[in-house]
Chain A
Amino acid sequence: MAQLTMVKAINDALRVELSKDENTLIFGEDVGVNGGVFRATENLQKEFGVDRVFDTPLAESGIGGLAVGLGSQGFRPIAEIQFIGFIFEAMDSILVQAPRLRYRSGGRYNCPVTFRAPFGAGVKSPELHSDSLEGLITQTPGIKVVCPSNPYDAKGLLISSIRDNDPVFFMEHLKLYFSVKGEVPEGEYTVPIGKANVVREGKDVSIFTYGAMVHTSLKAAEAAEKEGVSVEVIDLRTLSPLDMDTVVQSIEKTNRAIVVQEAPKQAGIAGELIAQINEKAIFHLEAPVLRVTGPSTVLGFPLIEEEWIPSPARVQKAIQKVMSY
Chain B
Amino acid sequence: MARTKQKAQSLLESEIKVAPITTFSVLSPEGKIVNEDEVPGLSDEQLQELMKRMVFTRVWDQRATGLARQGRLGFYAPVAGQEATMIGSQYALDKEDFILPGYRDIPQLHFHGYPMYQAFLWSRGHQHGGQIPEGVNVLLPQIIIGAQYVQASGVAMALKKRNTKNIVITYTGDGGSSQGDFYEAMNFAGVYKLPVVFVVQNNRYAISTPVTKQTAAASLAQKGIAAGIPSIQVDGMDVLAVYQAVSKAKERAANGEGPTLIEALNYRIGPHSMSGDDPTRYRTKEEPTEWEQKEPLTRFRAYLEGKKLWTEEMETGVIEEAKNTVTAEIKKADQYPKMKIVDLIDSMYETTPPHLEEQKAEYAD
Contact = CB atoms under 8 A, between A and B. Distances in A.
A binds B: yes
Interface of A: 51, 56-57, 59, 61-62, 64-75, 77, 89, 92-93, 96-97, 99, 102-110, 141-142, 144, 164-166, 194, 241-242, 244-245, 276
A103 B347 CA distance: 5
Contacts, number: 134
16 contacts: A59-B187, A59-B188, A61-B150, A61-B184, A66-B151, A68-B150, A68-B151, A69-B153, A72-B154, A96-B147, A99-B348, A102-B349, A103-B347, A104-B127, A105-B130, A141-B348
B147 A65 contact: yes
B140 interface: yes
A92 B144 contact: yes
B161 A105 contact: no
B21 interface: no
Interface string B155-186: 11111011000000000000000001100110
A165 B351 CA distance: 9
B157 A103 contact: no
Nearest to A70: B154
Nearest to B142: A97
A68 B154 contact: yes
Contact of A106 (B131, B158, B180): B131
Given A105-B132, A142-B349, 10 more contacts: A57-B184, A61-B180, A62-B181, A65-B147, A69-B152, A75-B161, A77-B154, A92-B181, A93-B147, A105-B131
Contacts of B130: 104-106, 108
Interface hub of A61, A70, A72, A242 (most chain B Cβ within 10 A): A61
A102 B144 CA distance: 17
Contacts of B159: 73
A65 B154 contact: yes
A71 B187 contact: no
Contacts of A142: 348-349
A29 B181 CA distance: 17
A62 B129 CA distance: 27
B348 A72 contact: no
B191 interface: yes
Nearest to B118: A106
Contacts of A64: 150
Contacts of B155: 69-70, 72-73
A193 to B, nearest CB: 9
B158 A73 contact: yes
B154 A67 contact: yes
Interface string B60-101: 000000000000000000000000000000000000000010
A272 to B, nearest CB: 10
B191 A69 contact: no
Nearest to A55: B191
Nearest to B159: A73
Contacts of A165: 350
Given A61-B180, A103-B344, A104-B127, A97 B151 contact: yes
A103 B149 CA distance: 20
Nearest to A59: B184
Nearest to B100: A69
Nearest to A193: B353
Contacts of A70: 154-155, 157-158
* A-B CB proximity, top 4 nearest: A69-B154, A65-B150, A106-B131, A73-B158
B355 interface: yes
Interface in B242-257: none
A107 B127 CA distance: 9
Contact of A61 (B100, B181, B349): B181
Contacts of B144: 92, 96-97
B187 A69 contact: no
A248 to B, nearest CB: 11
Contacts of A105: 130-132, 139-140
Contact of B347 (A74, A96, A102, A244): A102
A68 B353 CA distance: 22
A287 to B, nearest CB: 25
B337 interface: no
A194 B154 contact: no
Contacts of A75: 158, 161
B32 interface: no
A127 to B, nearest CB: 21
Contacts of B353: 194, 241
A62 B192 CA distance: 12
A176 B330 CA distance: 58
Contacts of B156: 69
B354 A244 contact: yes
Contacts of B181: 61-62, 65, 92
Contacts of A245: 354
Given A61-B181, A109-B139, A241-B354, A69 B347 contact: no
B214 to A, nearest CB: 19
A242 B162 CA distance: 38
A200 to B, nearest CB: 25
A104 to B, nearest CB: 5
Contacts of A107: 131, 347
Residue among B132, B349, B355 having the largest count of chain A Cβ atoms under 10 Å: B349
B331 interface: no
A31 to B, nearest CB: 15
Nearest to B345: A141
Contacts of B348: 99, 102-103, 141-142
A268 to B, nearest CB: 17
B189 to A, nearest CB: 10
Contacts of A68: 150-151, 154
Contacts of B187: 57, 59, 62
B142 to A, nearest CB: 9
A166 B350 CA distance: 7
B134 interface: yes
Interface in B184-217: 184-185, 187-188, 191
Contacts of B283: none
